[in-house]
Amino acid sequence: MTNTKPLGGVIAAITTAIDEKGEPDSARSTAFARYLLDTGCDGLNVLGTTGEATSFSLDQRQRVMSAYAASGLPLERMMVGTGAAALADAIALTRHAAELGFAGALVLPPFYYKGVHDDGLVAYIDAIANATAARPIPIYLYHFPAQSGLPWHVALIRRLLENFGERIVGLKDSSGDMPFAREAASISSHFKVFPSTEAVLLEARSGAFAGCISATANLNADLCARAYRSGDSAALAEAVTIRKLFDGRPLVSGVKTLVAHIHGEPQWARMAPPLSAFPVADKAAVIAGYEAVRAKRVA
């Protein structure tokens, strides 16, 4: 395996900066990655949904990966999204991640065709696993059926583990279905499940989950770290309050808008089409809510 130490703890689904030409701004993104690791994140999920990966071309995604590797950041603390609608793209991305030394590949199911038979999804993973056998990067399944339209359901996960063994190491669960997450986590002690909300961090401390992979950890990594490492329930409540600021609001653009505010860098608010800017009507409320949480902790 490329990496023997499993990922765990507080993992931010890191956002991707975009420059004035609409290209990924790798310098700004990798500087922010270092900040998140220094602030409390145990790891990062690069080029996931929050990172707008599916809005970028194959070449753009590979360039972002290469920039992370060139930056000297600890790739052993990072998984990277390599799923794609086209199998050849998923293979190319996963192979590139393996060659660079990322700790894991986070793989969406091929998300255009719906109602795909399990046999087709097994064949998809089989092709990726075989193509990367020389550098067997650990594979994390990305379960986000609301976006992909295809679930990595429990019976399918069991089948993949039977077929591919230790290559399939875990799951990012963005379904919000906690009974599903708990059932998936019970399949094997070696299969690591990461719900997409920091609300589970105290539960993760008890061993129920491997941690969380959260979009809002871009904003509250310090609070998440206190909750996970020392069981600070007040810090967790504050972290969850920040997350709830986006209830009923666009999450990806909202996170970028708040990152821009926190760091005084308006460039962070740029989005890659088809996603659009965070609604102006919501911006003031989200900023005020965030500042209220931070003011309470300072006081």
SS3 track for 15-49: CCCECCCCCECHHHHHHHHHHHHHHCCCEEEECCC
Share above pLDDT 70 across residues of the chain, in percent, rounded to a whole number: 97
Summarised one tens digit per residue, pLDDT across range 222-254 is 999 999 999 999 999 999 999 999 999 999 999
pLDDT, tens digit (0-9, with 9 covering 90-100), for 138-166: 999 999 999 999 999 999 999 999 999 99
Domain boundaries, the chain: 9-230
Q: Residue type for 257, please?
A: T
DSSP state of 189: T
pTM of the model: 0.95
pLDDT digits (tens, 9 = 90+) for 256-282: 999 999 999 999 999 999 999 999 999
Q: What is the CATH number of domain 9-230?
A: 3.20.20.70
Q: 1: pLDDT confidence band, cut at 50, 70 and 90?
A: very low
DSSP for 77-114 reads: GEEEE---SSHHHHHHHHHHHHHHT-SEEEE----SS-
Q: What is the dihedral of CA 221, 222, 224, 225, to 10 degrees?
A: 110
Q: Return the ∠ at Cα 102 (arms to 100 and 108), rounded to 5°.
A: 115
Indicate the average pLDDT of the chain.
Answer: 96
SS3 (DSSP) at 134: coil
